[in-house]
Amino acid sequence: MERNIVVEKITQTPVEDRFVEIVERKGIGHPDSVADGIAESISRELSKYYLKHYGRILHHNTDQAEIVGGQAKPKFGGGTVLEPVYILLSGRATTKVGDERVPYRTIAKKAAYNFLKENYPHLNIEEDVIIDCMIGQGSVDLRSVYDTQKLLANDTSFGVGYAPMSTTEKLVYETERYINGELKKKFPETGQDVKVMGFRQGDKINITVAVAFVGKNTPDRDHYLSVKEDLRDALMDFAAKITDKEVNYFINTADMPEDNVFYLTVTGLSMENGDDGSVGRGNRVNGLITPYRPMSMEASAGKNPVTHVGKLYNILAFKIAEDIAKESGGDVREVHVRIVSQIGKPIDKPQVASIQVIPAQGVNIEKYRKDFEAIADSWLGNINKVTEMLVNGEINVF
């Protein structure tokens, strides 16, 4: 086999069988997710522009977006944003092709604006947000390595993935998506800034949810407390569809009704009132933060989708792990995938694609070895498909 793909059995207790597990998800409105979303949107729009005008995606990395929180005075029935949120767009891009200049700053600011408009309905972007673009030209050396026709890795880095998700992970992931999805019609009082922390001990799962309430949709404290209780009931019913384990939800535990302290906002976003955000400080590419799993600290959002291994290898690692878990039909309890590159070497031929398997009791992984190698080989051989999916917005990286 051309590629160095190593499959090995490891002796380790699967996460599902451990006594304690912790899982976190920062929702679409969390400041770190806002930064991730903006950075990825800029990369996607730059990629589309480069493809349309030059036939290929040119060098760029827009993974340096920063959110600097504003100031607001929320109140029941309304509220006011006192100082706007400041958003700094930085990173590198190809700014000139021959004698033709690329309108990269216009593209970047428009992408940021559209992302905010599409995802945060209570945010007045014109009045309550300042978008500042300081994206510059990339280094000459890295741009030469980046040549998209050569498909050479532009960094020495690694990607990490695993499968399948544990029950706690599924519950945390789906809880945020449920609150920011189907439940929005039922509970318009809730904003987009939702953070979910899951803690399992044995067969008991505690889910702590921080959800920003929108002042204009919440007339008074009694209404707030009533909605909070109704939301908890809805989530308890939702959890029962995912697991038969004991689940308890705790919502906005910092509230102190006796002192009139509530998680109330003007925009449904905590960044309106001092909360800052940065790319890469939130969810990994599978949408979760999982300290009991192997993880990469790489910031994937905004990195170029052609040869940046910090992005592509993390996505590929999860895709490979998910397919292996599915292929095994339950014979694999857990699979960990790690892929490491060398700068300047072909991106489809990493130094190693390491596949570590925790088999179910009595299962010999030798009967699956060639199948698992083939799965990894196929994904690496079709790495350009991941690029296409990223540009088309078919893969979320946070």
The amino acid present at 318, given as its one-letter code, is F
CB-CB neighbours of 362 under 10 Å: 6
Same domain, 226 and 317: no
Residue 23 lies in a domain: no
Residue 194 lies in a domain: yes
Q: Is 145's pLDDT higher than 70?
A: no
Averaged over 247-264, what is the pLDDT?
97
Same domain, 300 and 385: yes
Structural domain tally of the chain?
A: 3
Averaged over 40-61, what is the pLDDT?
94
Same domain, 286 and 159: yes
Give the CATH number for residue 384: 3.30.300.280
Same domain, 114 and 251: no
Segments forming the whole domain that contains residue 73: 31-141
The pTM (predicted TM-score) of the whole model is 0.93
Same domain, 121 and 206: no
Q: What is the pLDDT of residue 147?
A: 55
Same domain, 160 and 309: yes
Instruction: Let me know: does 315 contact 397? Beta carbons within 8 Å.
Output: yes
Q: What is the percent of the chain where pLDDT is above 90?
A: 91
Instruction: Let me know: does 282 contact 36? Beta carbons within 8 Å.
Output: yes
Give the CATH number for residue 238: 3.30.300.340
Same domain, 302 and 254: no
Residue 149 lies in a domain: no
Averaged over 35-39, what is the pLDDT?
98
Phi, psi of 330, deg, nearest 5: 100, -10
DSSP state of 273: G
Same domain, 267 and 297: no
Same domain, 160 and 301: yes
Q: Is 389's pLDDT higher than 50?
A: yes
Same domain, 70 and 135: yes
Same domain, 123 and 206: no
- Mean pLDDT for the chain overall: 94
Q: Is 313's pLDDT higher than 50?
A: yes
